[in-house]
Structure 1
Amino acid sequence: MNELIDIYIFNIGKSMKLEKNSDNLKQIAALIKYAFLKKKDLTKDANFMSRYQHSEGYGYFDQKLTSYIMVNKFKSEVFGHHLKMAGIGYVASYPEYRGQGHISHLVQEVLQDLHQQQVPFANLAPFSESFYRHYGFSNSIYQKEYRFASNVLQSFCLPKTGRIIRGKWNDLNVQNGVIQLYERQLHTDDERNTVIREAWWWNRLDSYYAHRNFAVYFDADGRPMSYLIYRIENDRFLADELYSITPAGILSMLGFMGSHAGSVKEYRIILPEDSLLAELFPEQHQLDIRLHPYMMSRIIDFQKVLSCMRPMQEGIFNLEVIADDLCPWNIGVWQLKRKNKEVTVTRKEDELVDFSGSITAWTQVLLGRLSLKEAVKLGLITDYRIKKLDFVKGRVSFYDYF
């Protein structure tokens, strides 16, 4: 009888946080290779291994590893606060084990673990938005894409003062210019959900996208004003990241892009959702502009995230989280107090509620693009007492993929 019980328990399967050892790595690499149609042995892939070494892994075993989630921890810029953030990726199961709840077990374990480690939110790039909404994730980060033919840039010229330096990441002049501009934006305190790139991540981005080039515009005094990260594939010019702190900087990069028109037929530029780049073009109808959902977010610690927000109004407001199946500690009434630009958040038991919604709705408001007013209008948040409250929305200036 005891032998039968032991066999039954073994066959149930279990989820766990994985130790970093050669056997686990072998099984992880095999699963990811199969699930994501990779061609290489990932244990010999420097790009995969750099991310693996900076990660925590969670796996579900049914005699062998059947499902896996990788978690990389970053710091994220949230209105001047450097919050811990989990980047979730490589969510995978072998096809014969899909639909059996293995990923659900793992997600629950990941969220519990992150809460204990005081990581207040997570981001991921979804393969299915509806799938991740079951786990409390909401769309939060969007990209604006501009597509146009080569002749559209003919009115833009290379700068007449200053200079553009073009090169690879190992060119220190290029690297220093890019990092100076990147960090300058992060210090504006306007970013709401932007990764603070550490050296290992910058280096991994360069090795992962080894075919990308960099261009930095320096003004007449030698100060970096703008940068462009781009690649040319066949006859398409793909601008993955474009950032500028001055009008001259943005015009210089458009002029630089235009200088490639002889060998390029189509351009594509990826920019933040609030980009107004189209206003610089004399014929806007020539631009194909599209908005794409990019990342989803999940609030793990509502109190911590709310305390980093920038309310537009002073006063006392009671915000209620009415539903959060996987992070029940978020459920309840939270009193937001803003006085003399200081923000505090405390849990309350017997207070009249001003605004109420699920954790997914609050994620759209606090880490996403929706204003509180828009969320109320859409029925995502319920407004009980007609108090005026909204939050500075900030922006996401740079994009990272996990």
Structure 2
Amino acid sequence: MKLKKNQDNLKQIASLIEYAFLKDSDLTTDANFMSRYDHSDGYGYFDQGKLTSYMMVNQFKGEIFGHHVPIAGIGYVSSYPECRGRGHISKLMEEVIHDLHENKILVANLAPFSEDFYRHYGFSNSIYQKEYRFSGDALASFKLPRKGKVLRGKWDDLIVQNGVIQLYERQLHTDDERNTIIREAWWWNRLDSYYHHRDIAVYFDNAGRPMSYLIYRIVDNCFMADELYSITPQGLSSILGFMAAHIGSVKEFCMMLPEKSLLAELFPEQNELDIQLHPYMMSRIIDFQKVLSCMRPLQEGTFNIEVNYDDQCPWNIGVWQLDNHNREVTCERKEDELVDFSGPITAWTQVLLGRLTLKAAIELGLITNYRIKKLDFVKGKVSFYDYF
């Protein structure tokens, strides 16, 4: 059931999360937790008056190829150990999905504790991160910039903060993001309070314009780069030069970058890099018609796309006619039309919001191509990562 915001419910929610996630402090006095709680809807299952299962839902604006759409982030999914396996989380998930549809939310994202579990509810892997690990030797060829400057500070340094936000918002206006949340002020501030030990470095060119930024922390002799964004090659090399300036004080470097990152191409000895790809977020399409309308097809024409299975969102099932002419995309339900492409909602999520091309999904047997038509979509990218 959807929970009312009152002190008794808050106390029970906090106790459950503290136990399930091994928190060692009272969350009701934690400003970081409370900021997220205050911007959330909560769903819980009670057994004889005691909250036994819970999940939190935060709503954001998201960016899907230039469209500002409502997106949900699901987190703090938890149950007491003695109450697990009773289907309580399943009941809550079904209720959440129904309510998201009622509230016209297009997509839900979450970090899974079990990918297989969430696939039962229509979620699919959609966002991946590329991890780079290397010693300082790999950075030896990079130097601090001779022109412009790198300014280091904390989030409360307004020059640093404004530089980051300018760059962040610039990328969101490129219309290339496929499933990226738009960070509001409260979420930026929460990121700062949650990761209070992080520093920020911003490179400004000779004209004082921000060209790149790095959000990082140094933990146990390891330089951890959590977010890197640059709009010019000079900005990128300047940030790498800033990292290289730490060679004498740290032993290892780790960078978490978007899946499409080609940063390795700048290193003279790529074999010094340990590069791994990690699944990060799963997504669930709540409103297939509207998500399909946000896509950017590579081919012009009319295509009949079928969702042949969606157990939790039956409104998605059916044939949707995608029309793309003169860069105008429309989508409407059709009856008794010949189907061009057909698949379950999980496969369509991988194609529309994930990294799979439609061609690859067909080759893997995830999507069926009935009429041998050619269709694929601009893949876009996820430049910024948020954890729910």
- Normalised by the length of structure 2, the TM-score is 0.99
Query: What's the CA shift for 1:110?
Result: 0.2
Alignment of 1:2-401 (within 5 A): 16-63=1-48, 64-401=50-387
Q: Per-residue CA shift, 1:68-118, capped at 9, x if unaligned?
A: 010000111100001100000000011111111101100000000000000
Letter in 1 for 2:110: L
Q: Per-residue CA shift, 1:20-67, capped at 9, x if unaligned?
A: 000000110011111111101110111110000000000111111110
Letter in 1 for 2:337: E
Letter in 1 for 2:27: L
Q: How far apart in 1 are the matches of 2:269 and 2:67? A: 40
Q: Per-residue CA shift, 1:278-303, capped at 9, x if unaligned?
A: 00000000000000000000001000
Letter in 2 for 1:392: V
Structure 2 gap ranges (5+): none
Q: How far apart in 1 are the matches of 2:370 and 2:126? A: 25
Q: Secondary structure at the match of 1:322?
A: strand
Q: Per-residue CA shift, 1:345-399, capped at 9, x if unaligned?
A: 0001100000000000000000000000000000000000000000000000000
Letter in 2 for 1:51: R
Q: How far apart in 1 are the matches of 2:356 and 2:138? A: 33
Q: How far apart in 1 are the matches of 2:351 and 2:317? A: 17
Moved over 4 A (4+): none
- Normalised by the length of structure 1, the TM-score is 0.96
Aligned to 1:5: none
Query: What is the number of equivalent residue pairs in this alignment?
Result: 387
Q: Secondary structure at the match of 1:20?
A: coil
Q: How far apart in 2 are the matches of 1:77 and 1:209? A: 24
Query: What's the CA shift for 1:249?
Result: 0.3
Letter in 2 for 1:143: Q
Letter in 2 for 1:20: K
- CA-based RMSD: 0.5
Q: How far apart in 1 are the matches of 2:301 and 2:47? A: 54
Letter in 2 for 1:56: D
Query: What's the CA shift for 1:234?
Result: 2.2
Q: How far apart in 2 are the matches of 1:325 and 1:94? A: 27
Q: Secondary structure at the match of 2:309?
A: coil
Letter in 1 for 2:146: K
Aligned to 1:11: none
State, as a whole percentage, how many aligned pairs show the same letter.
Answer: 77
Q: How far apart in 1 are the matches of 2:179 and 2:377? A: 14
Q: Secondary structure at the match of 1:169?
A: coil
